[in-house]
Amino acid sequence: MTYIRWSTNYWSTAALLGTMTLACCTLACEKKGTPEVKKQAFGATSEGAPVELYTLTNANGMQAGIITYGGTVVSLTAPDRTGKFADVVLGLDDVAAYQKGDAFFGALIGRYGNRIGKAQFMLDGKTYSLIPNNNGNMLHGGPQGFDKKVWTATPGTSPEGQTLALAYVSKDMEQGFPGTLTTKVVYTLTEKNELKIEYSATTDKPTVVNLTNHAYFNLAGPGEGDILGHEVMIAADRYTPVDAGLIPTGELAPVAGTPFDFTKSTAIGARIGQDDPQLKFGLGYDHNWVLNKTGADLTKAAEVHEAKTGRIMEVWTTEPGLQFYTGNFLNGSLKGKGKTYAHRGAFCMETQHYPDSPNKPAFPTTELKPGETYHSTTVYKFSAK
């Protein structure tokens, strides 16, 4: 394995991601790659903390670009039916845009992915007040969640492929959460064209944990139109309906006969405009599906197909839930990689425990106690037909 350090700083320009995308489209698609991890500068935060970009490449020419700010996946290439690689995730052009943004593009999310109602929960008889950042609720760990932190990176290799291990220690009461949480996330780009994400965490006090990744996908390419024609299968017979604030009601409702039935592959846009109260609450799909699984084995949760390119993305996870979001709040104001991100220009598939689980005793628990280890694995697998 080869490590290369580049000294060039691409701060405040689109050159870095544009160069990466060009390289992926013109080189990786024409010849096999050399498995490696490359490191280069990606600017600095407003506080002066340096941010690094690590690019993982497998033998097929697939690449994953990850920055230490937020553990963010800034680029990810996948082959089309002709073998041509192209970037399939939305991203921004510099650290300043990621710091300012609230769309969570590609970021590691913690301590708690999704929403916690009224920004509070009770644990062991004590009420913990969190920092609200979403209509009085907490969303994705708060205004200074894991997506706003600079992680410590260690590149490496494994029998499956090139790896990048990211570490962050969240102090006791950070964003209102109890316990010092020691977190490690390992990205692996496998030789099977998979991006594997393994999360682990320990705590010194009882706390709650729900980690995920918030990549925005468009299998035709970022900025290449909306995703309404993408066909989706979700292996779930139930979902968790929400109230007007997008907090689960506690019900596990059947998807049969509703716009939420993706048990058979269906175009995202086929029913997204139906007159359904749940779709109105989310302005489209922004809900958690209850996956058809028992236990914590790695099982297939979803599959997405884009007909024009033939690209397919499978989602495999150990988690019990999948938040499917259809870019409802994208409005053309965000730009990156030389593109404008239009309404419903991407989708997210966030593997996780259910939203608001700390306030819903009937939901699978997200509690973590001292002496225990939180562990979760998700795999995004790419192919084409």
Q: Which residues are catalytic?
A: 214, 350
Distances (CA, A) of 202 to 168, 321, 365, 366: 11, 22, 16, 13
How far, rounded to the nearest angstrom, does the alpha carbon of residue 193 sit from its chain's CA centroid? Answer: 17
Distances (CA, A) of 183 to 168, 203, 267, 337: 5, 9, 37, 30
Instruction: Name residue, tokens 């028992």.
Output: 294
What one-character DSSP code corresponds to residue 353?
A: S
- Bridge partners of residue 44, in order along the sequence: 50
The residues, ordered by sequence, that sit 6+ positions from 138 with a Cβ below 8 Å of its Cβ are 112, 115, 116, 119, 130, 131, 132, 175, 176
Separation of alpha carbons 154 and 187, rounded Å: 10
Separation of alpha carbons 187 and 108, rounded Å: 11
